[in-house]
Structure 1
Amino acid sequence: MTTPPRLFDTTQIARNLQRRPASDNFVRDLVLEDLADRLSAYKRDFSRAILIGPDADTLPETLFTANGPVSAQRVEAFSGADFPDLPKGEQDLIVSLLHLQAVNDVPGHLARLRRLLKPDGLLMAAFVGGESLTELREAFLAADLQVSGGASARVAPMAQVRDAGALLQRAGFALPVADVETHRVRYATPFTLMAELKALGAANPLADRPRRFATRTLLTTAAQAYAERDADPDGRVRATLEIIWLAGWVPHESQQKPLRPGSAKVSMKDVLGKS
């Protein structure tokens, strides 16, 4: 078996989170609100649940399904290790928030989570998707070409929603579902966006990132390119935030299964009418 490439520096991500100032986290709040809506649709009792995410102590200890409250053990996503230190024993529910976008081996990671779930256990995950920060990525690309004549990786690559369901299937989950929530956020200037990303601990997490700090000239040029491409008439700039949601179940005999080819009881001719 080949070892997946190491795209993300998990130790650096943990450092970024530790040294950022305490502040509100609107991305986390958006995801938690959406999680509450999604879980409320399940008429299930989950006796053992894990909630994985950055700043685990700020995450809720109680989740709610249509059947009532669910106590969740909170686990820090970015501790510097490639895989979180999860409780032992089979779980009914694992929820992963804002973590998979910085995992080097996503199929392997999902497979390890599946092995912690009991049969008919549920995995839910939300992570930053591939269309996020496209405006910032394009602005830095243009600035790098103008200032240095080359390009550096300054915004991390992210998965596309079209690939997300296949990741669940590859990891052995049944009944996989993938969908996306897209948000448009506006900022007074590109520098305001950059400052907020830093405050969220989202500085460049790539293992192959440039080792020198971005120069004032590069930042100014990127901000100008951003404003030229993605400013509204009032001068504020747009930023795309895409959150991909996954849900999959550990296979169990009680789950519905697709019909065998040729087992249909009704002919299409009877449905559509004879020609």
Structure 2
Amino acid sequence: MLRRSKRSSSSYYLLRRIALAAKAAKGEQSRCGIVGRSSSCSCSRFLTTGGIDDGEDDHDASTSSSSSTTLIKKRINDEYVDTEAAMERTRMKAAALKAAGLKAESMTVFDREVKRAHRDRAAYLQREKKEEKEKKSSSSEGDFLLEEATRRVLDRLDDIKRPFKRILVIGGATVSTVKQLLEKRRDVETIIACDSSEATLLLVKDIVGDAPKRKFDSFPVEIKYVQAFEDDLPIKDNVVDCVLSVLGLHWVNDLPGAMGQARCTLVPDGLFLSAIFGGDTLTELRIACALAETENEGGVSARVSPLAHVRDAGNLLGRAGLRLPAVDVDTLTLNYKTPMDLVEHLRMMGEQNAVIERRQTIKRSTMELANQKYVENFSALSLSNDDDASMPKPSSSESGISATFQILYMTGWSPSETQQKAKERGSATVSLSDLKSALEEKEEEEEKK
């Protein structure tokens, strides 16, 4: 199930090796800087690995022949980004774990460096697909699942009748989210795109251009590109009106902590709106792999990453300090010609398994048996999505296999003195039983009439 296309895989790793060689040649030790500054777009880079240069000498900047790409080794502290505070928060977190006798590794489920590599590769594949469509002069559309999930998140945002001028976009479907915000929102003025993958941020910048504008009125929109992990946000407190995350936070090790950091970036009564894959996602793939490994190897290993369930989502919002929590669910069933088409789609989205304790290999015989079990047990449905027949799908044919994607939507608000609050327990003046009796009496009177 993990076989790679030789051409795309070799090209990707060749590019990675070239990039690493160029980085070593420049002697770059900093993990914090600015990349790609232009008149309306800027990119800050912050990762917790590596050191930080003091940035006292700005002449140490490496500038390309075109002024659109610049690398400056220094700490960033502007209107929205403060990497010093983020680094201090990281040190305090490590100190707290040490004081408790714990190691960061013991609290880690996902390998975020591996996940960053997955997202780099996904950005490369998406760019390759985009360039192929442009050569054929066909419309360049993004990934159908990421686009649809983003559309549904923004539909929920449209239901809230208030302006959101400053929006923070965190990980996941960063490309689709930024693009659709420019196309659909009439109020956005500043977008902060935060992603662990620099390749993804560069892809976003290439798509929206150096001078992004709202589609409705051509109003110029400032976009800041920040490279950072979702649970180490170098964003200042109380600077954005809304935080959006579409299919990104389910790879975070400290999910309540990451959501709490997102809450801190919000102004009072600011909106947090997130979509993550739920626990019923890829149930068919889990079962097929488990059956194949049990039959062929006499045991089962984790081939699909663990995901949150609906009952967990409300607790996560509360632990993050968000008020008025709300959770709803969508279940999408998509058709694919073969199980390998499903796996390639997961790679295209950067959704490969990133569990630290995962098995690195799979036997060819086990892979072939898993394919067979999948086809035998989960043939494609005649309709790829029961909720929305217009949902884009890879294959409209009834032959093939089906795959389930459960999406949990989590909504919460940052605390504010002005927002509505729930009444205290015991403050009610009317019992539900009295209300029920009154309604029944009213129905009886209407029937008599």
With normalisation by structure 2, the TM-score equals: 0.56
CA distance in 2 between partners of 1:257 and 1:241 (Å): 34
Larger RCO (CA under 8 A, 6+ residues apart): 1
**Residue by residue, what CA displacement relative to the aligned partner does 1:69-99 show, whole Å, maximum 9, x if unpaired?**
2232211155674635443342211111111
Residue 74 (1) aligns with residue 222 (2):
no
CA distance in 2 between partners of 1:105 and 1:198 (Å): 24
Shift of the 106–89 alpha-carbon distance from structure 1 to 2, 3 Å rule, reads closer
Moved more, 31-40 or 4-13: 4-13
Is the 8 Å Cα contact of residues 111 and 355 (structure 2) preserved in structure 1? yes
Is the 8 Å Cα contact of residues 75 and 86 (structure 1) preserved in structure 2? no
1:272 aligned partner: 437
2:160 aligned partner: 42
Shift of the 80–208 alpha-carbon distance from structure 1 to 2, 3 Å rule, reads farther
**Residue by residue, what CA displacement relative to the aligned partner does 1:152-200 show, whole Å, maximum 9, x if unpaired?**
1110011001210111011111100011111000111112212221222
Gaps of 5+ in 2: 1-99, 130-141, 198-226, 382-397, 442-449
Moved more, 248-257 or 83-92: 83-92
1:185 aligned partner: 334
SS of corresponding position for 2:288: helix
> Of residues 214, 220, 241 in structure 1, which corresponds to 2:362?
214
CA distance in 2 between partners of 1:189 and 1:248 (Å): 39
| 1:15-164 paired onto structure 2 within 5 Å | 15-20=117-122, 21-22=125-126, 23=129, 24-54=142-172, 56-57=174-175, 59-60=177-178, 63=181, 68-71=186-189, 72-78=191-197, 81=229, 83=231, 85-90=233-238, 91-164=240-313
Greater radius of gyration (CA): 2
CA distance in 2 between partners of 1:132 and 1:74 (Å): 26
Question: Which letter does structure 2 place at the counterpart of 1:258?
Answer: A
Shift of the 86–43 alpha-carbon distance from structure 1 to 2, 3 Å rule, reads farther
CA distance in 2 between partners of 1:80 and 1:8 (Å): 16
Aligned-residue identity in percent: 34
Residue 259 (1) aligns with residue 423 (2):
yes
**Residue by residue, what CA displacement relative to the aligned partner does 1:174-232 show, whole Å, maximum 9, x if unpaired?**
10001111100011111221222122222221111112x22221111001111111114
Moved more, 13-22 or 181-190: 13-22
CA distance in 2 between partners of 1:259 and 1:57 (Å): 41
1:224 aligned partner: 372
CA distance in 1 between partners of 2:265 and 2:406 (Å): 28
1:145 positional shift: 0.9
Gaps of 5+ in 1: none
Shift of the 80–256 alpha-carbon distance from structure 1 to 2, 3 Å rule, reads closer
Please state which structure has a larger fraction of its residues in strand: 1
Question: Which letter does structure 2 place at the counterpart of 1:228?
Answer: E
Aligned pairs, number: 273
SS of corresponding position for 1:263: coil
With normalisation by structure 1, the TM-score equals: 0.89
Q: What is the root-mean-square deviation of aligned Cα atoms in Å?
A: 2.6
Is the 8 Å Cα contact of residues 50 and 73 (structure 1) preserved in structure 2? yes
CA distance in 2 between partners of 1:82 and 1:60 (Å): 17
